[in-house]
Amino acid sequence: MKQILLLLAAMLLCCCSSDSEVKADEPSHAGKTLVVYYSYTGNCREIVNTLTSQMEADVLEIQPAEKGQKYEANNYALGTQLLNAIKANPNNASSYPAIDPVTTSLDDYQNVIIVTPLWWSQMAAIMQTYLFQNASQMAGKHVGMIVSSASSGISQVVNDAKRLLPDATWMGDALWINNSNRSNKTSLIQNWIKTLNFAEEQTSMKEMYITIGGQTKSVTLVDNDATRELVAALQNAPITVTLNDNNFEIWGSLGRTLTTKNEQMIAQPGDVVLYNGSNICLFYGSSSWSYTRLGHIDGLSESELRTFLKAGQNNISVTLSLTSGTTAIKSVNGNRMEDGAYYTLNGVKVSNPSKGLYIKNGKKVII
Ligand SMILES: Cc1cc2nc3c(=O)[nH]c(=O)nc-3n(C[C@H](O)[C@H](O)[C@H](O)COP(=O)(O)O)c2cc1C
pLDDT in tens, 199-237: 655 555 578 999 999 999 999 888 888 988 888 788 778
Ligand 1 atom nearest to CA at 80: 1
Asked whether 109 lines ligand 1 (CB < 6 A), one says no
Asked whether 279 lines ligand 1 (CB < 6 A), one says no
Ligand 1 atom nearest to CA at 78: 1
If one residue of 51, 72, 149, 176 were mutated to test the ligand 1 pocket, choosing by the most ligand atoms within 8 A of its CB, it would be 149
Cα distance between residue 189 and residue 63, in whole Å: 24
Residues 34 and 74 in one domain: yes
Residues 293 and 309 in one domain: yes
- Where a domain ends, among 202, 228, 251? 202
Tell whether 3 is covered by a domain.
no
Ligand 1 atom nearest to CA at 115: 26
Contact indicator for 358, 342 with CB cutoff of 8 Å: yes
Going from the Cα of 149 to the center of ligand 1, the distance in angstroms, rounded, reads: 5
Residues 89 and 228 in one domain: no
First to last CA, the chain: 71
Tell whether 120 is covered by a domain.
yes
Contact indicator for 83, 120 with CB cutoff of 8 Å: yes
Cα distance between residue 159 and residue 122, in whole Å: 9
* CA nearest to 325, candidates 231, 206, 209: 209
Cα distance between residue 105 and residue 167, in whole Å: 18
Residue 12's pLDDT is 40
- Residue 354 in this model has a pLDDT that exceeds 50: yes
pLDDT in tens, 51-87: 887 787 888 999 999 999 999 999 999 999 999 999 9
Contact indicator for 181, 27 with CB cutoff of 8 Å: no
CATH number, domain with residue 268? 2.40.100.20
- Residue 362 in this model has a pLDDT that exceeds 80: no
User: For residue 28, what are the CA distances in angstroms to 35, 202, 208, 219, 220?
Assistant: 18, 10, 25, 25, 21
Residues 24 and 127 in one domain: yes
Asked whether 362 lines ligand 1 (CB < 6 A), one says no
Residues 351 and 278 in one domain: no
Tell whether 12 is covered by a domain.
no
Averaged pLDDT of the chain: 84
If one residue of 37, 39, 40 were mutated to test the ligand 1 pocket, choosing by the most ligand atoms within 8 A of its CB, it would be 40
Going from the Cα of 69 to the center of ligand 1, the distance in angstroms, rounded, reads: 15
Higher pLDDT, 363 or 77: 77
Residues 212 and 310 in one domain: yes
User: For residue 82, what are the CA distances in angstroms to 76, 88, 122?
Assistant: 10, 10, 11
Residues 190 and 293 in one domain: no
Tell whether 234 is covered by a domain.
yes
Ligand 1 atom nearest to CA at 118: 17
pLDDT in tens, 291-325: 999 999 988 999 999 999 999 999 999 999 987 75
Cα distance between residue 64 and residue 198, in whole Å: 31
Asked whether 148 lines ligand 1 (CB < 6 A), one says yes
Tell whether 83 is covered by a domain.
yes
Residues 235 and 344 in one domain: no
Higher pLDDT, 211 or 354: 211
Residues 353 and 240 in one domain: no
Asked whether 76 lines ligand 1 (CB < 6 A), one says yes
Number of domains the chain is built from:
3
Domain housing 342: 331-366
**Backbone φ, ψ for residue 271 (5° rounding):** -70, 145
Asked whether 121 lines ligand 1 (CB < 6 A), one says yes
- Among 124-133, 195-204, 353-362, the minimum mean pLDDT is found in 353-362
Residue 206's pLDDT is 73
Ligand 1 atom nearest to CA at 71: 1
Residues 57 and 93 in one domain: yes
Asked whether 180 lines ligand 1 (CB < 6 A), one says no
* CA nearest to 174, candidates 49, 335, 24, 71: 24
If one residue of 59, 86, 120 were mutated to test the ligand 1 pocket, choosing by the most ligand atoms within 8 A of its CB, it would be 120
- Residue 11 in this model has a pLDDT that exceeds 50: no
Higher pLDDT, 126 or 11: 126
pLDDT in tens, 234-277: 877 899 999 999 999 999 999 999 999 999 999 999 999 999 99
Count of residues making up the chain: 367
Residue 198's pLDDT is 75
Ligand 1 atom nearest to CA at 177: 21
Cα distance between residue 310 and residue 208, in whole Å: 19
Residues 198 and 211 in one domain: no
- Residue 334 in this model has a pLDDT that exceeds 80: no
| Helices first, then strands: H and E counts in the chain | 10, 22
pLDDT in tens, 153-181: 999 999 999 999 999 999 989 999 999 99
- Structure letter (DSSP) for residue 183: G
